[in-house]
Structure 1
Amino acid sequence: MDFNAAPCLAEQIADYLGDLIIRGHLQPGERIQEVKVTKELKVSRGSVREALLLLERRYLVQNVPRKGAIVATLTHTDIRGLYNLLGCLYALLGRDVVETWQTEEDLLPFDALIAEIEAAAFANDSDKLFCLSFGFSNVAKKLVGNTFLNQTLENLRPVFSRIYYQIVNHDPNELIFIADFLKKSMQLVRARAADENRELVKQYFERQCQVALSLYPDLGQTDKKIIS
């Protein structure tokens, strides 16, 4: 019999609070009151504290001495740094997909997801497209099987999700752009055009960074180019 360990209570609490942050129900700088969360979820204060530590590692919460946990604020420097890294990591993932796939059967899951993503984009279903986009990258990670790359991307997923959720809900045209990008990327993967795909991914993240910067207030950081 297989043993499937259920997520610990602290992880469940962290996922719940993290989703509230990602979807904007908890705003940057807003204090997360341990007592309030304890009462609302009917859990122990120790589990809530452990969950807040997990959220800090996910870059969603800051634990401030004598003040407690607050929703992390993303500066323009943070956003540029994140997208600089994401552009490099996803370019590596794309290269590995080009080098790894062997038969058309390997690419069928991508094709199915692209069809669903296009349908969600044309239906202006931002929530569905948001989820399917990460499903697309999950299929790529599974195909490639690069443990270290996969774990790094997974560690960055919560903070990336927070920005990405705002982007897909910002403008319906963004949904079409994302669907078109994924479709073009898969065409290049099929053609084993690794260099062209790398450039496409780089341009995609450069553009999305600029959209993200327009959605978050400038806290006074000096402008820097995202990807050199």
Structure 2
Amino acid sequence: MSFKANDSLTEQIARYLGNKIVTGDIAPGARVQELRIAAELDVSRGSVREALLILQRRHLVDIYPRRGAIVSSVSRDDVRELFALWFLLLEEVAVHLSANWQNDDLAGFFELMTELGAHHRQGDTEAFYHSGVNFLSLLYQHAGNRYTQQTLFDLLPQAQRCLYAILRTGKSQLDRTHSFLDTLLKAIIARDEATLRQMVPAFGNAYSLLAQAAADELTR
């Protein structure tokens, strides 16, 4: 693993481990062995422990006395509760951006939608997933409320686990997700609050049911 000088070491370790959890390389219920990770990455055990505290805040691990860090579960109830909060906040962010965007605020979204469209046409699920995560991250930057923004960024890794598993189930979910993001951006551009208030929770409910039904897939 190569580290970037402009990011803290603990953040980079957290991102490395977080990606392994999101993609299922480290399964729910597995114990994260600090000594093994420290040796693998050639870092101190203290740095790994600090990274695990970051992952605990992001809901990817649970830390227990004498047991250490355990990768958090992704049961049907976990998914249902995540989606209920995630799309509630997502709706507010989309509405806020639609009412307040100016000048070049949307330029980054246009670029990402171009990327998403290309990945969608090529059927490149992995690339589509990464561009989709970047789309969400950019959207969160326009939350207009630092508490909402921080909560969404803390929820993002757990949301990524669900998104990754859903997109792997087949092209129909790639189609569905691309259509949602495209329609979302068009409603934001049009400053169409009514459409956003209707479409975001509707999609969230449908996506939640899909993710709950595929909860077992999230453990693979």
Q: TM-score by structure 2 length?
A: 0.88
Give the conservation status (yes or no) of the 8 Å contact 2:76–2:213: no
Looking at structure 2, the residues matched to 47 and 139 of structure 1 have their Cα atoms a distance apart, in angstroms, of 28
Question: In the alignment, is residue 125 of structure 1 matched against residue 120 of structure 2?
Answer: no
Change (3 A) 1:40 1:140: closer
Looking at structure 2, the residues matched to 30 and 130 of structure 1 have their Cα atoms a distance apart, in angstroms, of 24
Give the conservation status (yes or no) of the 8 Å contact 2:59–2:154: no
Larger radius of gyration: 1
How many residue pairs align between the two structures? 214
Which residue of structure 1 lines up, in the alignment, with residue 214 of structure 2? Answer: 215
Query: What does 1:1-228 align with in structure 2 at a 5 Å threshold?
Result: 6-103=6-103, 105-143=104-142, 145-217=144-216
Give the conservation status (yes or no) of the 8 Å contact 1:118–1:176: no
Change (3 A) 1:9 1:214: same
Give the conservation status (yes or no) of the 8 Å contact 1:122–1:176: no
Listed one character per residue, the Cα deviations across residues 75-128 of structure 1 (whole Å, up to 9, x for unaligned) are 22221111011111111011111101245x443432232122121112121222
Listed one character per residue, the Cα deviations across residues 1-24 of structure 1 (whole Å, up to 9, x for unaligned) are xxxx73332222111111100111
Gaps of 5+ in 2: none
Looking at structure 1, the residues matched to 108 and 65 of structure 2 have their Cα atoms a distance apart, in angstroms, of 47
Q: TM-score by structure 1 length?
A: 0.85
Looking at structure 1, the residues matched to 52 and 185 of structure 2 have their Cα atoms a distance apart, in angstroms, of 38
Looking at structure 2, the residues matched to 207 and 108 of structure 1 have their Cα atoms a distance apart, in angstroms, of 29
Looking at structure 1, the residues matched to 22 and 61 of structure 2 have their Cα atoms a distance apart, in angstroms, of 11
Which residue identity lines up with residue 32 of structure 2 in the other structure?
I
Q: Which runs of structure 1 show a deviation greater than 4 angstroms over 4 or more consecutive aligned residues?
A: none
SS in 2 for 1:200: helix
Looking at structure 2, the residues matched to 34 and 193 of structure 1 have their Cα atoms a distance apart, in angstroms, of 49
- Of all paired residues, the percent bearing the same amino acid is 34
Query: What root-mean-square deviation, in Å, do the aligned CA atoms of Structure 1 and Structure 2 show?
Result: 2.1
Gaps of 5+ in 1: 219-228
Listed one character per residue, the Cα deviations across residues 167-211 of structure 1 (whole Å, up to 9, x for unaligned) are 112212111111111111222223322011121111111111111
Change (3 A) 1:143 1:65: closer
Looking at structure 2, the residues matched to 176 and 6 of structure 1 have their Cα atoms a distance apart, in angstroms, of 36
Looking at structure 2, the residues matched to 10 and 189 of structure 1 have their Cα atoms a distance apart, in angstroms, of 36
